[in-house]
Copies of this chain bind each other. A is one copy, B any other.
Amino acid sequence: MNPVSQPATVADVAAAAGVSRQTVSNALNRPEIVKPATLDRVRAAVEELGYRPHASARRLRTRQSSTLGVRLPPVHGISGAVLDRFLHALVERADERGMRILLFTATDLDDELAHMERLVEGSDVDGFVLTSTAHGDPRAAWLGERDVPFVTFGRPWGVPDMDDAPHPWVDVDGRAGLREATAGLVARGRRRIGFLGWPSPSGQGDERRLGWRDALAAAGLDDGAVPLTCEDDVTAAASAVTRAVDDGAAFDAVVCASDTLALGARFALGASVPVVGYDDTPVAEAVGISSVEQPLDAAASAAVELLMGSGRSVLPATTGHRLLAPRVVWRD
Contacts and interface: CB of A to CB of B under 8 A. Distances in A.
A269 to B, nearest CB: 15
Contacts of A50: 121
Interface string A301-322: 0000000000000000000000
The complex is assembled from copies of this chain, and their number is 2
Contacts of A76: 81, 84-85, 282
B145 A3 contact: yes
Contacts of A3: 145-146
Contacts of A4: 146-147
A255 interface: no
Given A60-B57, A234-B286, A282-B76, A103 B87 contact: yes
Interface string A90-133: 01100100001111110000000000001001111000000000
Contacts of A100: 102-104, 124
B283 A123 contact: no
A118 B53 CA distance: 9
Nearest to A87: B72
Contact of A91 (B60, B84, B104): B104
B103 A103 contact: yes
Contact of A287 (B65, B67, B263): B263
A78 interface: yes
Contact of A122 (B54, B67, B92, B103): B54
A56 interface: yes
Interface in A46-66: 50, 52-57, 59-60, 65
Contact of A56 (B56, B78, B260): B56
A103 B69 CA distance: 11
A78 B283 contact: yes
A203 interface: no
A166 interface: no
Contacts of A101: 102-103
Nearest to A122: B55
A250 to B, nearest CB: 25
Interface of A: 3-4, 7, 50, 52-57, 59-60, 65, 67, 72, 74-78, 80-81, 84-85, 87-88, 91-92, 95, 100-105, 118, 121-124, 145-147, 233-235, 260, 263, 282-283, 286-288
Given A76-B282, A78-B286, A91-B104, 11 more contacts: A55-B122, A56-B123, A72-B91, A74-B88, A75-B85, A76-B81, A87-B103, A91-B105, A100-B103, A103-B103, A283-B286
> Sorted from nearest, which 6 A-B pairs have the closest CB atoms?
A52-B121, A234-B286, A56-B59, A55-B122, A78-B282, A56-B60
